[in-house]
Structure 1
Amino acid sequence: MERDINLNRLAVFVALVQAGSFTAAAEQLGMTKAMVSQHVARLEQELGVTLLVRSTRRMSLTEAGAAFHADCVRILAETEAAIERVSENRDAPRGTLRLTASLDYGTAVVAPALASYMLTYPQVQVDLVLSDHLSDLIAERFDLAIRGGSLRDSTLRATRLSGFRQLVVASPSYVARAGTPKRPEDLATFAWVAMSALSSPLTWTFTHAKGGRTTVRVRAVAQANNASAVRALVLASAGAAILPDYLVEDDVRAGRLKVLLPTYRLPEGGIHAVYPGQRPPAKVRAFIDHLAASIAAG
């Protein structure tokens, strides 16, 4: 049969046994002697057993009371330890940081930042899951997600880490074959490698540096559901594509890719750290700060 036990009375009972008298326990707990006596009497009533034998001069534990006291001491000690562990997780990064990011951004930016983060916080272990699938953070037990683009789940908290430019790129050999576009409309004749994971991979709106907007629909000869795969196809001269700057800036510097239409801009994307709950643990807060600093140092 289940009993409705007020667990606060356990602490009063343990304090009474430790103090040795109702008067001393009352002083220790900041209660009246009558309140201490009432708590113990109600605890006995809730348990259905006698815990203490009282006389005018002394009190002693019954056999059941002695066994129950030992259990209460253990329970309170474990509770205190659990509270201390939670406080440690709140105040100092420790434990396992489970996070997810897209394949391309996770490889190019998040993984290197995690390596230096682990050197700074050696008490944190890392579980990084790279996927272009939009994970359910709560159901899949992620502490954190690094996401690009627009945010869809309003129940999650988000911190903006940075933005990125979207660039039209092609290999020098493809440009030699297709020519250099002067206006966005010229892209309509280009072979296009599309990012199929986007909601509208073939329609793009460009803004000129001097103002004015132009919307163009391109013709796909190939598509892939991952930006790294699109990049590989473009490097192999399959056609032109729009890719994030963080993925192609090394290729552009090395001359493996060329930026087309440099006087035009596409809408910038945002990179966000997304997490459940109003108060993320220290390991999450520390990594968000660390990643933001790593991106800024760039």
Structure 2
Amino acid sequence: MFDLNDVAVFVQVVRHGSFAEAARRLGLPPNTVSRRIQQLESQLGTRLMQRSTRKLTLTSAGQDFHDRCAGLIDGLAAAGQALAAGGQEPSGLVRVAAPADFFDFFPMEWVADFLAEHPLVKLDFVLSDAAADLIAERIDVAFRGGVLRDSGYVGRRLATRSAGLLASPAYIARRGEPKSLQDLAGHDCVTPSTPTGHTTWRLTGPDGVEEEVQVTGRFTGNTAQALRRAALAGLGIAQLPPAMATRDEQAGQLVRVLPQYEYTGRGLNVVYPSRKHLPLAVSAFIGLVMGKLVTASPTVL
């Protein structure tokens, strides 16, 4: 198999009409250029050009070979230049695996701003509650909840603290505001469903001590969005992810209950296959996530 570098040298020699000029353009010694052409002819088993002290003349085989490969060599060079240029600006497709309700707490406006800032980037979101196989499914970035098992991926832990306990102003007006953690036992709380119908909330007070209270309610649901909508409808007090609750709190649609307490949720993590040769587009998207959500130091999972 002949060396493509020798073919590229041959194309340059033909294009510039001499070994000396081709050597100058390529930054190689003239004898190296001559040796490479001889090596290529030896590998092909035919003479490509006739040499004289005044000029070079292609043989019929050399002309045919040049006509066939010159465009391909130029295409390879152009592809390399484009890739190098693209390496200076985020570009290309980024595949993102995330939970099914990801956009319930990650505003689409953040994505729109990111795409406007990086016009050469495309985002492909794969939304599912099943854990994606990053390698098999060609995933660049994945979001996963809870404690991560050792997987060999690079992972960064996002915020685990919730915005606390929230309820609608209408609910507070109707049922009153709880004064202590134990008062929650007498209130309607919207929670994920459990076999017993009771849920234990563990919350950390201002002194850093974790306390617990058993709560019940008349509405349960299996997604954070369902619990949010129930709280907005005045069905009870809820624990919500911070990004989801912040907008409703700022709009006055939800208010804090027992603001001195917080709970530690399952948390969210962003993971990616490797730190090595991370495309700029992927790095930029991870930067978006880190900039919008509370972060911790990266770890290898």
Task: Output the CA distance in 2 between the equivalents of 1:20 and 1:249.
Answer: 70
2:253 & 2:21 partners in 1: Cα distance? 82
Q: Which of 177, 180, 195 in structure 1 is aligned with 2:178?
A: 180
Distance 1:90 1:25, change over 3 A: closer
The residue number in structure 2 matching 1:141 is 138
- Indicate if the aligned counterparts of 1:9 and 1:40 stay in contact, CA closer than 8 A: yes
**What residue number does 1:280 align with?**
278
| TM-score of the two chains, using structure 2 as the length reference | 0.73
CA distance, structure 1, for counterparts of residue 40 and residue 230 of structure 2: 74
Partner of 1:265: 262
Cα distance between partner residues in 2 of 1:164 and 1:25: 65
Contact 2:6–2:36 under 8 Å retained in 1: yes
1:230 equivalent in structure 2: 227
Q: Measure, in 2, the Cα distance between the counterparts of 1:291 and 1:241.
A: 25
Could you tell me the TM-score, scaled by structure 1's length?
0.74
1:39 and 2:36 matched = yes
Residue identity over aligned pairs, in percent, reads 37
Query: 1:56-82: per-residue Cα shift (whole Å, max 9, x none)?
Result: 765432222212222332122111221
- Structure 1 SS opposite 2:240: strand
Relative to 1, partners in 2 of residues 1:140 and 1:244: Cα closer, same or farther, differing over 3 Å? same
| 1:159-199 deviations in Å (ceiling 9; x for gaps) | 6676652422344565655972612x554565554347xxx
With over 3 angstroms needed to count, the CA separation of the structure-2 counterparts of 1:215 and 1:164, relative to structure 1, is closer
Given residue 208 of structure 1, which amino acid in structure 2 is its aligned partner?
Answer: G
Question: Which one of 65, 68, 72 corresponds to residue 71 of structure 1?
Answer: 68
CA-based RMSD: 3.9
- The answer (yes or no) to whether the contact 1:208–1:264 under 8 Å persists in 2 is yes
Match of 1:205 among 195, 202, 213: 202
Query: Given residue 80 of structure 2, which amino acid in structure 1 is its aligned partner?
Result: I
Hey, what's the Cα distance between the residues in 2 that align with 1:30 and 1:256?
69
Residues 51, 66 of structure 1: 8 Å contact kept:
yes
Q: CA separation of 1:195/1:71 partners in 2, compared to 1, >3 Å: closer, same or farther?
A: farther
SS at match of 1:15: helix
| Alpha carbons 1:113, 1:291 under 8 Å: kept | no
Question: Which of the residues 7, 10, 25 maps onto 1:10?
Answer: 7
Q: Deviations over 1:237-284 (max 9, x none)?
A: 444432113212344455544433322222267665544443433333
Query: 1:209 offset after TM fit, Å?
Result: 0.6
Gaps of at least 5 residues in structure 2 are: 295-301
Deviation of 1:229 (Å): 1.4
More strand by share: 1
* Alpha-carbon distance, 1:38 to partner: 3.1
